Amino acid sequence: MIRRIRLFLTQHIDGFLLTVLSVTMLLGLFVLYSATGQNMDRVMNQFISIVVALGLMWGLANLPPQHMMRFAWPTYVVGLLLLVGVALFGEVSHGARRWLHIGVARIQPSELLKIAVPLMLAWYFEKRERTMRLSDFAVAAVMLMVPVALIAKQPDLGTALLIAASGFYVLFLAGIGWRVILVLVVAVAAFAPVAWSLMHDYQQQRILTLLDPSQDPLGAGYHTIQSTIALGSGGIFGKGWLAGTQAHLDFLPERHTDFIFAVFGEEFGLFGVLGLMVLYLLIVARGLYIAANATSMFTRLLAGSITLTFGTYAFVNMGMVSGILPVVGVPLPLISFGGTSMVTLLLGFGILMSVATHRRLVKS
């Protein structure tokens, strides 16, 4: 009986991936405890979010990939409708309209698009695998840019760029030619002056601040200056857990969300940062292994996009906090406080586990 229950719970779970994810999330709880000033309420809220997210991940891992294909376009359409709802009826907070009230809950629909966009594009290319033409990539690009434009309008440039990256990974893995990519790069470069004029003042200021944070040390450059001070002060071995001064003396802003990596670097030092990077690299490597061994174009594109997007999230946050990328409001995956982000991430890993374990069942 116990063996049957164990088999039921674990037969569609990738043990290696779950282990690395669990270690990373546990580490995140310890860092969050320090970053919040030992606030157990927030730690418990994050723990509850992890438990809920793990349950959803298990449910998605047990859903065969061919069933996921049925939900591709409905999920995408619902996501677009929710984004339109945000534009029309969304709640304005800190100058941005990103949240939507539905009954008793408040949701951020852009999070749903992190899964819906690669799911939709992977489904689209699966249907056209045998007769794929350049026009198919053009149609896919339009399907990608519609939600990206709606999210950028909120404005939420960071999320828009990351969703654009998740869609681009699908296009790339589907076989878009290097010549087309080169043309796109040239087009983006040519459009840059126009894009600059369309940016909000604070978005322009973030890019200028990247070049010289000291031009406004108490304003736009404050986040970057304080986060780099925190990272540098950690040295090789760090100051020790709960001993970070930049965070606990309130110099470091947003220390439990977007800038929690600075808290981590200050308390655990270079070796701790390298250890965290190893965990992320193990997750990405496992995800790419699953994608490489997928049995269909749909699963290969979906698994590859989810994995590469996860790696992009980690790189962007670390780059933002260390001052080599503009501040775009991207949380550190599996570490930063936030239930919606945690659920979205683990839903993606549930898809990866489904691709991995159902592939093994098919081959046997």
What does the domain layout of the chain look like in residue ranges?
Answer: 2-363
- How far apart (Å, rounded) are the C-alpha atoms in residues 162 and 144? 12
pLDDT per position as a tens digit, 175-191: 887 777 787 778 777 77
Q: How far is CA 357 from CA 284, 285, 311, in A?
A: 17, 17, 22
pLDDT per position as a tens digit, 237-292: 999 998 888 878 778 888 888 899 999 999 999 999 999 999 999 999 999 999 99
Residue 98: strand, helix, or coil: strand
DSSP string for residues in 288-351: HHHHHT-SSHHHHHHHHHHHHHHHHHHHHHHHHHHTSS-----PPTTTSS-HHHHHHHHHHHHH
| Mean pLDDT of all residues in 77-105 | 80
Q: Which of 209, 247, 249 is nearest to 230 (CA)?
A: 247
Enter the tokens of residue 109. Answer: 């629909």
pTM: 0.89
